[in-house]
Amino acid sequence: MEFSYYPGCTLKGSARELDESFRTVSEKLEVSLHEIPDWTCCGASSAHMVDGYLETALPAKDLVIAERLGRDVVAPCAGCHVRMKSAAMRLVKEKELQARFPFTGRIKVMSGMDMFGLQELRRRLRQQVVKPLAGLRVVPYYGCYAVRPPDVVEPADAENPVQMDNVLEDMGAQVVSWPCKTDCCGGSLALTRKDLVIKLTRRLLDMALLVEADAIVTFCPMCQANLDTRQGDVSHESGKLYGIPVLFLTELMGVALQTPGTRAWFRKHMVSPDGVLAVKHLI
């Protein structure tokens, strides 16, 4: 199984643990990822708010290259996935843009959840689990971009997505039901409206505590960063201590598959998952 791989800017910077764990787990499951040569920024999350042409032109270059290579594209970052898929749809529909960027739509743009949600990869995962995540109570947090806008992302269920739930259950984790699966964490307001980000992340963290989750699991770098780095601010405002690990799905897959390097990924987190995982005898 082979895919063209679009890491995007965030996975090469603040979310390197997602890039590293995604590549490591993919290799373990016999998936070949071919990084798109000379890829450029997709424009997330501001280009579409600034320039209608630029929002398509930026990802179009990478889509043209990927189509020439003939493999479907997987973009682990939720923001990158939305921007690339939106551009792909627009290029197919608008002939003027297609004349400049000859993309015809012969390849698909997939999210990380799309890829690991494939039945064949779920089968391989179940067969290769070495350390089942038994006893680990997790809440899957999809965030906004995993399901919105629905006419672009085309989720099977925009209100109750289950791709991460399924993969977590395949690894033996206890997936806890909660009402915040697709709630907003504040996203790109992190720098402009810190007050709103704290309010939104506090609601998510409070609910995770209420349902007695050991960890929050996500696939979105923006969501992970907000929920991980803002816990000190939320604690200062609320007077409560949180300390809830916020993990990428692929990091937990690395634990279950016992791939090398998992502890190095955890060192990049503000709230270390080491304690929780040690108590559950998973590391």
The pLDDT value given to residue 229: 94
Of the residues 82, 114, 146, the one at which a domain ends: 114
Question: Does one domain contain both 168 and 270?
Answer: yes
Question: Does one domain contain both 248 and 141?
Answer: yes
120, part of any domain: no
Q: What is the CATH number of the domain that holds 47?
A: 1.20.1050.140
**Average pLDDT of the residues in 1-11:** 97
The pLDDT value given to residue 11: 96
The pLDDT value given to residue 37: 97
Separation CA 178–CA 166 (nearest Å) = 15
Q: Are strands 32-35 and 174-175 parallel, antiparallel or unpaired?
A: unpaired
Helices (H), 129-244: 150-153, 163-170, 194-210, 221-229, 231-238
Question: Does one domain contain both 63 and 200?
Answer: no
4 and 69 Cβ atoms separated by less than 8 Å: yes
- Ramachandran region of residue 58, left (φ > 0), alpha (ψ -120 to 50) or beta? alpha
**Average pLDDT of the residues in 191-195:** 85
Question: Does one domain contain both 105 and 233?
Answer: no
269, part of any domain: yes
123, part of any domain: no
210 has pLDDT over 80:
yes
119, part of any domain: no
Question: Does one domain contain both 143 and 238?
Answer: yes
The pLDDT value given to residue 188: 76
The pLDDT value given to residue 256: 98
Question: Does one domain contain both 95 and 217?
Answer: no
**Average pLDDT of the residues in 246-252:** 98
Q: Containing domain of residue 19, as a range?
A: 2-114
187 has pLDDT over 90:
no
Question: How distant is the alpha carbon of residue 138 from its chain centre?
Answer: 16
Question: Does one domain contain both 101 and 134?
Answer: no
Question: Does one domain contain both 207 and 249?
Answer: yes
Q: What's the pLDDT tens digit per position in 223-245? A: 999 999 999 999 998 999 999 99
Q: What is the CATH number of the domain that holds 257?
A: 3.40.50.11810
Q: What's the pLDDT tens digit per position in 176-185? A: 999 999 999 9
* Sequence-ordered list of residues with C-beta below 8 angstroms from that of 239, at least 6 positions apart, any chain: none
Question: Does one domain contain both 142 and 230?
Answer: yes
Q: What's the pLDDT tens digit per position in 12-54? A: 999 999 999 999 999 999 999 999 999 999 998 677 667 889 9
The owner of tokens 């939106």 is 86
270, part of any domain: yes
Question: Does one domain contain both 104 and 224?
Answer: no
Number of domains in the chain: 2
97, part of any domain: yes
The pLDDT value given to residue 50: 76
Of the residues 69, 84, 114, the one at which a domain ends: 114
Helices (H), 70-148: 78-93, 95-100, 112-116, 119-128
252 and 282 Cβ atoms separated by less than 8 Å: no
Q: What's the pLDDT tens digit per position in 134-176? A: 999 999 999 999 999 999 999 999 999 999 999 999 999 999 9
Of the residues 90, 114, 138, the one at which a domain ends: 114
274 has pLDDT over 80:
yes
The pLDDT value given to residue 191: 75
Separation CA 216–CA 224 (nearest Å) = 9
183, part of any domain: yes
Q: What's the pLDDT tens digit per position in 101-118? A: 999 999 999 999 999 999
Question: Does one domain contain both 48 and 161?
Answer: no
The pLDDT value given to residue 115: 98
Question: Does one domain contain both 91 and 217?
Answer: no
The pLDDT value given to residue 206: 97
122, part of any domain: no
Q: What is the pTM of this model?
A: 0.96
